[in-house]
Amino acid sequence: MRDVAPMIRVKVLFFGRLRELLGKSEDYAELAGGESLASLFESYTRRYPQLAGFRSSLVASRNQEFAAWDTQLDAGDEIAFLPPVSGG
Amino acid sequence: MTNTTAQDRVGLQLEPIDAAALAAHVRGPEDGAIVTFDGFVRNHSHGRATKFLEYEAYEGMAVAKMNEIIEHLHEKYAIHRVAMIHRLGHLEVGETSIFIAVSAAHRGEAFDACRYAIDTLKKTVPIWKKEFFEDGAVWADGELPPAPPGAKSAS
């Protein structure tokens, strides 16, 4: 691991009711390398208070795979916070 | 967005689904049965009259998850070919939103595989449905896909 985590940039996608709540379908976020999906979501909750309380009804993905909230992020990751799915 | 392997067909599309063409695609001389699932737009939901639906997807991940389902079908069931197409965008009542066709030498495997495919799609593929009524619209209650266990996965 690096001694000092440099800032990294990740792409963040929003779908369904989350896209409507935030009024956007994608965003770029800057954060310290090694930060987790949970801390990225917390940063969005600070910017968008309407997201508070949503985390338990979302699942996160990293690079198009479902990922645990403690997953650490790398530069260039594609992240999404996914509401319950309702295809079919 | 469509990904076609030599035998299987999987994808997302805005255009109406051609169910007959998909059933024909999976049909082969070594088969004895095709089981299809045709999911289409119901005219009511939770006691309200549905006007139309809109579907959206995380397209790249959705196709990847649909391909994972098809890989699993081939591992677990004695089947030959699979077609799995989900429609996106605006759908009227009665229009097909998902069509799955599975061919096999024997019906039992085809029934089981088709059932597994639609049940798993509804739980794991990132697609969302918004229901429009006379007096408003709601995102359909869905299923939260299972997240992997919380082991640190730094890379």
Q: Which CATH number goes with the domain that contains A41?
A: 3.10.20.30
Number of domains in chain A: 1
Q: How far apart are CA B75 and CA B96, in angstroms?
A: 28
- Please check whether residue A73 touches B, CB under 8 A: no
Interface contact A50, partner B, CB < 8 A: no
Q: Report the relative pairing of strands B79-87 and B9-13 from DSSP bridges.
A: parallel
Rounded to a whole number of angstroms, the distance from the CA of B150 to the nearest CA of chain A is 5
Nearest to A57 among B60, B61, B144 (CB): B144
Q: Which domain holds residue A21?
A: 7-82
CB contact under 8 A, A87 and B143: no
A5 at the B interface (CB within 8 A)? no
Q: Is residue A87 part of a domain?
A: no
Contact A15 B129 (CB under 8 A): no
* A11: in domain: yes
Q: How confident is the model at residue A26 (pLDDT cuts 50, 70, 90)?
A: very high
Contact of A11 with A79, CB cutoff 8 Å? yes
Which of B5-19, B65-79, B90-104, B109-123 is least confident?
A: B5-19
Closest to B81 in 3D by CA, of B6, B1, B146: B6
Determine, for residues B142 and A80 on separate chains, whether the beta-carbon distance falls below 8 Å.
Answer: no
pLDDT attached to residue B37: 98
Predicted confidence (pLDDT) per residue in B3-35, tens digit: 445 699 999 999 999 999 999 999 999 999 999
Domain boundaries defined on chain B: 2-135
Q: What is the mean pLDDT of residues B63-87?
A: 98
Q: In angstroms, what separates the C-alpha of B24 from chain A's closest C-alpha?
A: 21
Question: Are B128 and A86 in contact (CB < 8 Å)?
Answer: yes
Asked if residue A1 is part of any domain, the answer here is no
> Are B84 and B117 in contact, with CB atoms under 8 Å apart?
yes
Q: What is the pTM of this model?
A: 0.93
What span, in angstroms and rounded, lies between the C-alpha atoms of B56 and A66? 18
Is residue A55, in this structure, part of any structural domain at all? Answer: yes
The pLDDT, as a whole number, for residue B8 is 97
**B2 touches B13 (CB < 8 A):** yes
**Given this model, what pLDDT does residue B149 score?**
87
CA A53, A57, A63, A65 torsion-angle sign = positive
- The CATH number of B2-135 is 3.90.1170.40
Please tell me the distance in Å from A32's CA to the nearest CA on chain B: 13
Residues of A in contact with B118 (CB under 8 A): 88
Render pLDDT for A31-82 as a digit per residue (tens, 0 to 9).
998 899 999 999 999 999 999 888 999 999 999 999 999 999 999 999 999 9
Give domain status of residue A71, yes or no.
yes
A50 contacts: CB under 8 Å, gap ≥ 6: A21, A22
